[in-house]
Structure 1
Amino acid sequence: MKNLLSLFLLVSFFYTTSAQGIYDVAKIPENLKKDAIAVVRNEEQFFDIKSIGSAQYEYKIAITVLNKAGDDLAEMAEVYDNFSNISNIKAAMYDAAGKKIRDYKSSDIRDQLASDGFSLFQDNRVKLLKFISNSYPYTIEYSFTQNFNGLLNLPSWRAIKGFDISVEQSAYTIQKNKFYQLRYLTSTDLKTDSVTIGDKVKYSWKSNNVQAVTREPMAVGVDNISAWVKASPNEFEFDNTTGNFNNWKNFGAWIYKLNEGGNRLPDVTRALLQKLVKDAKTPKEKIQILYNYLQQNTRYVSVQLGVGGFRPILAEKVAQVNYGDCKALSNYMKALLNEVGISSNLIVIGNGMPSLNQNYSSIGQANHMILCVPLPKDTTYLECTSQYKPMGFIGYDNADRNVLMITDAGGKIVHTPAYSAKDNYQIRKTKINFSEDGIADISIKSLYGNAQFEDNFTMLLKEPIEQRKILIERNDIPGAELTTFKYEQVNRNLPVMTEEINLKSNQILTKGGDRFFLMLNQVNRKESIPPKVENRKTYFAVPFSYTDEDEITYALPNGFKVEFIPKDIAINSEFGSYTAKFTSKDNIIVYTRTQMMNDKKYPPEKYNEYVDFYKKIYQADKQKAVLAKAP
């Protein structure tokens, strides 16, 4: 009996232990649960390069979702195309104790077009599986094999998948033949393990026990705090093309070769172009005429088909169908200019991405194409996908970064124009006239330039009823009633727009005893202060540098006098500068405010200094004048 009892206890122990599987939430270290919505329990990437044009990718991941905020991570969405296939998919879900509660079948996995919302033609597809659980925490696990027939780039790896996600362990391995050449970049201090066995070389990287980082104000990503690897081949084969990415010159040579013979235009189009520019006096006038023609006669449609994701549609075809993607429209504009004797160069650029790394060439650093027109005395860059942007204005997501110019001699790194704080302006003049009964007529006229034009431009495209709705929602003037408004771009060739708004309010003056108080900044006031963050982890930046200039003129009611007006204020820091000036004469108060901000990328330890700077502006924006009725 004693032996039977011991055997029963032993079996019970092993059953309980096995039931508490490797994904038991109780096994997650407490430091990884802190501030986390999910924990990557294990991630394994193995990329085996078979030849210059083929490879096999083995991927496995398990993620424990701790609460509802992490549900978006409970998804498998793996993309493939005509040059790869995905097989051997396995997926399962586990409960909080690590007990498997479901295996997924192939019928549970959707295979669908990987629609990006704007591509008319593409061959990307996605294997999609959404894991759903009504209780928390739970763990999802999936794995698959992907075979590639054509290699333009190699998978990248980053241990941290995003904010509020911790990592138990994550690893990446690349295996290649010892004669196959590739290049890689890694994050600072990440150890690379390299081993050679026979004619195979393995590079391995791993990261363990990484705590979650909460999303921090103004953060510009997690690359400075995460382990990461980026890799690229040298020689490659893809869709019956070959090339070499070992430097930007060779990269550009491949792009140039793809575009060869693509600039021919139909005879009818050529004749039209000559007619359009026959009275133009200068090359700049010709560029303007043809850019306007492009905008009025084409529209942007993305096309992503094999190497067609990199080779533009023929200019002749664009002339017939009147649409194209960024490559096709840039190449078409190049053909238009070429027809009238103006040379230009295609530009490969990372729209909204960092500058191209001059010392490391790879296809993953760019996602867009524009056009450059070098003239003897200046250079004009053209954003060919927009039907509205003025000639030469490429937007702050394309500005001030290294890009690749495609020439007949190969690729060449150049730098796009930078828009300074002075260029990205908002100039606003406000007049507030008080009637005898204290009702204020408010007239606001604003001028937006460059990046601030870009930020506000969509208002020009909206219907008046929608404009009104937005203006009412944005209004911060107490008790203000919107009466009239107007938006206008006086000159389509300049990135400048005007805004005129008229309002009425009876709540601008506030009474306290026998005095009246007037908040002097009514139209561009900071209403909150970013929270301080101790032990901040991420870098931060404002989206773009800018300058705001405000002038508000108050005409006070008859019988009022100014008893107090604030002293002038000046605030300066490495983040920017601020001034506020106050004058009063003959019942007229003039308030002027200027704020200039730099768009530098700042290290985490500077953030609380930025908050202190911002707090000073917040306080300065609250200055009031004190008025009294004359006896």
Structure 2
Amino acid sequence: MILKPLLFCLILLITFSIKLASQSLDAEILRYTTLCDVDKEKLTITDSITIQINNRAGDKYTNISIPYSKLEKVSAIEAWIEESNGNVVRNLKKSDISDRSAVSENSLYEDDFIKCFQLKHNIYPYKVTYTYQTICKNYIIISSWTPVIYDKIPTRNARLKIQFPKGFEYSKYSTNTSDFRKDSTEANIILEWAASYPNPIEPEIFSQPNDFKPSVLVTPVYFKYGVEGSSKDWISYGNWQYKLLQNLDVLPEEEKKTISELVKGITDKREIIKTLYHYLQDNTRYINISIGIGGLKPYPASYVALNKYGDCKALTNYMKAILNYVGIESFYTKVKASEQPQNILKSIAGPQFNHVVLAIPLMNDTIWLENTDNANPFDYMGSFTQNRDAFLVSKDKSKFVRIPALKSKDNQSSFKLDFDLSTTESSNVTIHSTFRGSGFEVFNQLHNEYNDDEKDKIFRSYLPFDNYEVIKWELVRENRDTAKIGLNVNLNLSKFLKPLGSDYYLTLFPCRIPLFTVPSNRKLPVILPFPICNSDTLMYNIPVDYELKNKPDTFSLKTKYGNYELQLNIINGKIYAIKHFELYSASYSIAEYPDFYSFIKSVNEIDRMNLVLKRQL
């Protein structure tokens, strides 16, 4: 059959466009297949990945790491390099594979390891294919799968295939997959999904890119992981976690004596909890320990009492044991900690969490304890755990609870700046600022976890000035249970006043408005997990013989997205600018983003206005 010239040209153009697109990529996943073979005794997973390396910059993707643990054995590793013509130019040798521990920062010991190797070629493009098998003797998840191996490069074709024996009970959930098939043989049920990731999603400020990636979650309804359990519903899953915690709350006798002395004479329950929380903070430290089923089962309270360290599970279990000893009920509560709250799939019960905190019902309130941070205020849930569902573990009564959201007053930064302006010398500025919420967390961590040189470097990167000299600066925290921190700074600013003919001008100190991109570039919805609130008082001492040229004005913007106010006054030769900016906690679709951005743009135009000073006649 002879193709018509126009159709032939069109095919050539499409083919050429695809080649150009590929050539512009450093690398791409051409094929990714996962086969999960389930039986009553074990789960066998076989993965096969083919990566095409298009240029020298893509060579970094030839560093292959395969994770495993004592519970998840890896074997049958094979790999090879193919040139574009299909010729195999190199096969992986056993001697090319190295083993190393996957112990991460803040970890004493992890039962996690990595098999790693590199297969690299010097003629582009070339393909690296590798396959391996993972055998799990105990498992609580059959597959938590996505075709996204690397966030920044595409995956062209991916398939997940799961094979169960007939009668095996399971739960499944999938999103953004292109095809699903269910089949059966005489002995097995077969599930198969197809997916791709053709256009890598760039992360954007206040977005949740994972919501738009293909994913599949499959879990067994009945399992044995430490102890026998079920995920047929959340009550059952909670009972499994409850059983896993049994007999881990026994305290040494010496520890009991110490606790009794600490709370002696205190009758108010809240004060008892606070005293014991301070004891935890002052006498333990966070170190990750993950061995055996350590990802889900904490070390005993006696271990923490003796060694004075633990991970989030161990420290929370220890705090729970301390409170239980003095007769105060508390609940081990699992949460998915992240800057952007991640949705929990409530249709599938199972391990969708990465952190543990303690919930303590008290009268008509609940006290929340973050047990891994020695400088965390009492009853303070930070930006990584606030405003989301958490799973409270209780025998036969496990349930989802809501961790309270930060309010405007809880996430506010306030600045008071006093400028002494000069047209001939450096201008001086004194800054008194207070941070709450996410700002408090950043500066509190800076205050407690960094040496002086690191503190100074990070502090200087925060200053919104050019050509300055730091005279002095300090961080001030009133007390350990106040969720705010102060930053006091004194600076000399060189050439702060800019000449404008015979006049001078300055730009108002900015109100720390998040940097949102223009609507044509925004791809993902905006999700603000907490309100952003900034309030500033600026005082500019005008140089002698000068006055403000442009007339002060008042601006006010009130929208569904937030509000902004600016008041300008001149009193006794000084310019006073009072600002307030707030973005509300909410989600905004791409369709609504232009209106949202319009508000941000209007605020930016007003907020950084120039003030012109002219010489008095």
TM-score (norm 1): 0.89
Q: Call closer, same or farther: CA 1:539–1:133 in 2, change over 3 Å.
A: farther
Contact 1:149 1:238 in 2 (8 A): no
In structure 2, distance between residues paired with 1:198 and 1:59: 25
Q: Call closer, same or farther: CA 1:154–1:31 in 2, change over 3 Å.
A: farther
Q: The residue matched to 1:336 in structure 2 has which SS? A: helix
Establish whether residue 513 from structure 1 lines up as the match of residue 493 from structure 2. Answer: no
Identify the match of residue 417 of structure 1 among 404, 421, 440: 404
- Cα displacement string for residues 318-350 of structure 1 (whole angstroms, at most 9, x for unaligned residues): 111111111111011011111222111101111
Q: The residue matched to 2:48 in structure 1 has which SS? A: strand
Q: Which residue of 1 aligns with 2:459?
A: 471
**What is the deviation of 1:75?**
3.4
Q: Which residue of 2 aligns with 1:456?
A: 443
Contact 1:430 1:444 in 2 (8 A): yes
Q: Call closer, same or farther: CA 1:410–1:567 in 2, change over 3 Å.
A: same
Q: Which residue of 2 aligns with 1:145?
A: 133
Q: Which residue of 1 aligns with 2:73?
A: 85
Identify the match of residue 180 of structure 2 among 185, 188, 192: 192
Q: Call closer, same or farther: CA 1:28–1:90 in 2, change over 3 Å.
A: farther
In structure 1, distance between residues paired with 2:526 and 2:86: 39
Q: Call closer, same or farther: CA 1:213–1:370 in 2, change over 3 Å.
A: same
Q: Which residue of 1 aligns with 2:155?
A: 167
**What is the deviation of 1:525?**
5.6
**What is the deviation of 1:599?**
4.3
Contact 1:565 1:625 in 2 (8 A): no
In structure 1, distance between residues paired with 2:514 and 2:583: 17
Q: Which residue of 2 aligns with 1:407?
A: 394
Contact 1:78 1:126 in 2 (8 A): yes
Contact 1:35 1:214 in 2 (8 A): no
Unaligned runs of 5+ in 1: 1-25
Contact 1:581 1:592 in 2 (8 A): yes
In structure 1, distance between residues paired with 2:168 and 2:540: 74
Identify the match of residue 169 of structure 2 among 172, 181, 191: 181
Contact 1:508 1:518 in 2 (8 A): yes
Establish whether residue 56 from structure 1 lines up as the match of residue 44 from structure 2. Answer: yes
Greater Cα shift, 500-509 or 380-389:
500-509
**What is the deviation of 1:218?**
2.2
Q: Which residue of 1 aligns with 2:534?
A: 548
**What is the deviation of 1:307?**
2.2
Identify the match of residue 281 of structure 2 among 279, 291, 295: 295
Percent of matched pairs sharing the same residue: 24
Q: Call closer, same or farther: CA 1:99–1:605 in 2, change over 3 Å.
A: farther
Q: Call closer, same or farther: CA 1:430–1:135 in 2, change over 3 Å.
A: farther
Establish whether residue 581 from structure 1 lines up as the match of residue 567 from structure 2. Answer: yes
Paired letter, 1:132: K
Identify the match of residue 102 of structure 1 among 90, 110, 118: 90
Q: Call closer, same or farther: CA 1:37–1:602 in 2, change over 3 Å.
A: farther
In structure 2, distance between residues paired with 1:616 and 1:72: 43
In structure 1, distance between residues paired with 2:203 and 2:258: 55
Q: Which residue of 1 aligns with 2:344?
A: 356
**What is the deviation of 1:447?**
0.5
- Cα displacement string for residues 454-505 of structure 1 (whole angstroms, at most 9, x for unaligned residues): 1222231234444333333333334322111110111111111001001122
**What is the deviation of 1:93?**
1.4
Identify the match of residue 245 of structure 2 among 259, 274, 278: 259
Q: Which residue of 2 aligns with 1:73?
A: 61
Identify the match of residue 377 of structure 2 among 387, 390, 393: 390
In structure 2, distance between residues paired with 1:464 and 1:360: 48
In structure 1, distance between residues paired with 2:86 and 2:596: 45
**What is the deviation of 1:436?**
8.0
In structure 2, distance between residues paired with 1:138 and 1:153: 35
Establish whether residue 41 from structure 1 lines up as the match of residue 41 from structure 2. Answer: no
Q: Call closer, same or farther: CA 1:578–1:388 in 2, change over 3 Å.
A: same
Contact 1:566 1:624 in 2 (8 A): no
**What is the deviation of 1:543?**
6.4
Q: Which residue of 2 aligns with 1:447?
A: 434
Aligned-residue RMSD, C-alpha: 2.5
Paired letter, 2:140: L
Q: Call closer, same or farther: CA 1:487–1:450 in 2, change over 3 Å.
A: same
Q: Call closer, same or farther: CA 1:137–1:576 in 2, change over 3 Å.
A: farther
Identify the match of residue 487 of structure 2 among 496, 499, 504: 499
Paired letter, 1:386: D
Q: Call closer, same or farther: CA 1:316–1:430 in 2, change over 3 Å.
A: same
Summarize the alignment of residues 316-355 of structure 1 with structure 2, pairs less than 5 Å apart. 316-352=302-338, 354-355=342-343
**What is the deviation of 1:433?**
2.2
In structure 2, distance between residues paired with 1:358 and 1:314: 29
Contact 1:526 1:621 in 2 (8 A): no
Greater Cα shift, 367-376 or 615-624:
615-624
Establish whether residue 426 from structure 1 lines up as the match of residue 413 from structure 2. Answer: yes
Contact 1:451 1:544 in 2 (8 A): no
In structure 1, distance between residues paired with 2:486 and 2:552: 31
Q: Which residue of 2 aligns with 1:6?
A: none
Q: Call closer, same or farther: CA 1:309–1:626 in 2, change over 3 Å.
A: closer
Q: Call closer, same or farther: CA 1:238–1:32 in 2, change over 3 Å.
A: farther
In structure 2, distance between residues paired with 1:438 and 1:191: 70
**What is the deviation of 1:98?**
3.6
Paired letter, 2:141: N
In structure 2, distance between residues paired with 1:358 and 1:169: 29
Q: Which residue of 1 aligns with 2:12?
A: none
TM-score (norm 2): 0.91
Paired letter, 1:327: K
Q: Call closer, same or farther: CA 1:357–1:488 in 2, change over 3 Å.
A: same
Paired letter, 2:547: K
In structure 1, distance between residues paired with 2:212 and 2:86: 30
Q: Call closer, same or farther: CA 1:624–1:258 in 2, change over 3 Å.
A: same
- Cα displacement string for residues 73-97 of structure 1 (whole angstroms, at most 9, x for unaligned residues): 3233222222232221110112344
Q: Call closer, same or farther: CA 1:207–1:138 in 2, change over 3 Å.
A: same
